[in-house]
Structure 1
Amino acid sequence: MEPGRCCLPKMLPCRFWTAISKALFAEFLATGLYVFFGVGSALRWPSALPSVLQVAITINMATAMAVQVTWKVSGAHVNPAVTLAFLVGSQISLPRAVAYVAAQLAGATVGAALLYGVTPWDIRETLGVNMVRDSISTGQAVAVEVVLTLQMVLCVFASTDSRQASGSPATVIAASMAVGHLIGIYFTGCSMNPARSFGPAVIVGKFTVHWIFWVGPLTGAVLASLIYNFILFPDTKTLAQRLAILKGTAEVEKVAGVEPQKRESESNSRDTEMESVGQMA
């Protein structure tokens, strides 16, 4: 038996955990930076109150930064809604999705805590916690978050799908976030990202109508995933393949960089070589 073939089963888990550790740190870091800059742009300084355009531009650039830095490491989710959309579309395993969301929420909380620590006490107020406008009902607020997140997740899929696009998706995703904020700020302060709403809410302890900023974005993400992956650009995955991805068995192969077909062909070629040597002997 060849040494390389013996070591392969041991190498796969090691390479997988190395890759997932980097991905989790990337999600943690990117979400923290996104919350720090995004929420920071909405703080109300008396000398220069932020305009909607200013907040949208800052969100645009913060999103582009987060995506550009992490998309080759973790896929640049930086948002539990995006992670759920990829899970529904059979593009990520359930264990990895849960780990991603935990990293995103932790990063958002740390980013909000850092912003709170460096901001003067008279400027902090509610630290940019998402709130619904008085004249807007909870149903309307949820509907707005659904639509805003739906268009953003559709852009995420379109810009990261190797069948449709190539290169960094940072520009497209950042633009979709800016478009959402130009409208959504007037209704709900614009979340589109449960982690963005969660971080500041934890730091200031304000969870009034917080459920809206989970139900709306997550619903919009699921709808966008169904529309893109099953109607606009359906793939050919079988039920068995989807279950393998959900459980994570297919993902280990992908992360480790070893394709089953390639490994089988290499094994066959080695066996052929051994047979040839035996015949020559």
Structure 2
Amino acid sequence: MPGIAVGRFDDSFSFGSLKAYIAEFISTLLFVFAGVGSAIAYAKLTSTDTALDPAGLVAVAISHGFALFVAVAIGANISGGHVNPAVTFGLAVGGHITLLTGLFYWIAQLLGSIIACFLLQFVTGGLAIPIHAASVGAFQALVMEIIITFALVYTVYATAADPKKGSLGTIAPIAIGFIVGANILAAGPFSGGSMNPARSFGPAVVSGNFSDNWIYWIGPLLGGGLAGIVYTYVFMDRDHDVLVSEV
């Protein structure tokens, strides 16, 4: 049964690991650019609050789902296509990536998100970068983020990390994109539907507004970690296959 591993510096700074960090940076940058960009574009075209407008919510959910599908697919063979600190944490809890390597994944993901938002601010002529914000109480938003991130990371385990997945692994990127799109439709008007600390952190940095940002760290990490524990220790009955990022 896999377990949490701290890791070694020589492994985390190997050539393969460095390529994985670059892949995570690029995938996260592209995902955040498309996701945040879709919210900016809709707000510009309609002058409405995207999260509270039905058509805007659908547009943003579809954009995030499509973008994540691509971001996971292009990174899968290099880094595992995490594109999300909560996914990395959930996989670390299950022993699929070391804590040290996971920390560098986090750095790459956060940098990718921040730079994506700076690029969006530049190419849109200085338009405001929208941040995630809760329209319900902080505790309700926190629970919502725990639930939807659990669903995301559980999907990652079932379709990508489980050695018994077989041919199901070929649809992992689209399944992951679908669950994110569906969760945004369900949670967007309430918690914002983040599921991803990097997706929330980049806009907060560029806008300078960290209001409620803690929700989008604690909620996703708790949900992702819980999914990793449940799937690993309940449904995995043998050692996992090593992910590409750990080779």
Settle same-fold status: TM greater than 0.5. yes
Q: Does 1:30 align with 2:32?
A: no
Q: Deviations over 1:104-128 (max 9, x none)?
A: 011110111101111134xx23x12
TM-score (norm. length: structure 2):
0.85
SS of equivalent to 1:224: helix
**Aligned-residue offset at 1:236:** 4.5
RMSD (Å), alpha carbons: 2.3
Distance 2:92 2:188 in 1: 28
Aligned to 1:75: 80
- After superposition, the Cα gap between the structure-2 partners of 1:45 and 1:97, relative to the gap in structure 1 and judged at 3 Å, is same
Aligned to 1:173: 176
Kindly indicate whether the alpha-carbon contact (under 8 Å) linking 2:72 and 2:81 is maintained by their aligned counterparts in 1: yes
Range 16-25 or range 176-185, more displaced: 16-25
- After superposition, the Cα gap between the structure-2 partners of 1:36 and 1:15, relative to the gap in structure 1 and judged at 3 Å, is closer
**Aligned-residue offset at 1:235:** 3.1
- After superposition, the Cα gap between the structure-2 partners of 1:45 and 1:15, relative to the gap in structure 1 and judged at 3 Å, is closer
Q: Deviations over 1:209-257 (max 9, x none)?
A: 11000000000001111110011334358xxxxxxxxxxxx999x62xx
Aligned to 1:132: 134
Identity across the alignment (%)? 36
Q: Does 1:231 align with 2:216?
A: no
Aligned to 2:163: 162
Distance 1:212 1:93 in 2: 25
Kindly indicate whether the alpha-carbon contact (under 8 Å) linking 1:35 and 1:111 is maintained by their aligned counterparts in 2: yes
Distance 2:12 2:212 in 1: 42
- After superposition, the Cα gap between the structure-2 partners of 1:89 and 1:29, relative to the gap in structure 1 and judged at 3 Å, is same
Kindly indicate whether the alpha-carbon contact (under 8 Å) linking 2:12 and 2:101 is maintained by their aligned counterparts in 1: no
- After superposition, the Cα gap between the structure-2 partners of 1:108 and 1:15, relative to the gap in structure 1 and judged at 3 Å, is closer
Distance 1:25 1:19 in 2: 10
Aligned to 2:44: 45
- After superposition, the Cα gap between the structure-2 partners of 1:105 and 1:14, relative to the gap in structure 1 and judged at 3 Å, is closer
**Aligned-residue offset at 1:42:** 1.2
- After superposition, the Cα gap between the structure-2 partners of 1:71 and 1:168, relative to the gap in structure 1 and judged at 3 Å, is farther
* Structure 2 stretches lacking a partner, 5+ long: 1-9, 51-55
Distance 1:119 1:15 in 2: 37
Q: Which residues in structure 2 correspond to 1:106-255 (within 5 Å)?
A: 106-121=111-126, 124-125=127-128, 127-133=129-135, 136-160=136-160, 161-164=162-165, 165-236=168-239, 255=247
Distance 2:134 2:169 in 1: 38
Q: Deviations over 1:12-50 (max 9, x none)?
A: x69971111110000001111111100111121144755
Q: Which has the larger radius of gyration?
A: 1
Give the total of aligned pairs: 226
- After superposition, the Cα gap between the structure-2 partners of 1:45 and 1:77, relative to the gap in structure 1 and judged at 3 Å, is same
- After superposition, the Cα gap between the structure-2 partners of 1:25 and 1:168, relative to the gap in structure 1 and judged at 3 Å, is farther
SS of equivalent to 1:41: helix
Match of 1:56 among 52, 61, 66: 61
Distance 1:185 1:57 in 2: 12
TM-score (norm. length: structure 1):
0.75
- After superposition, the Cα gap between the structure-2 partners of 1:167 and 1:117, relative to the gap in structure 1 and judged at 3 Å, is same
- After superposition, the Cα gap between the structure-2 partners of 1:162 and 1:117, relative to the gap in structure 1 and judged at 3 Å, is same
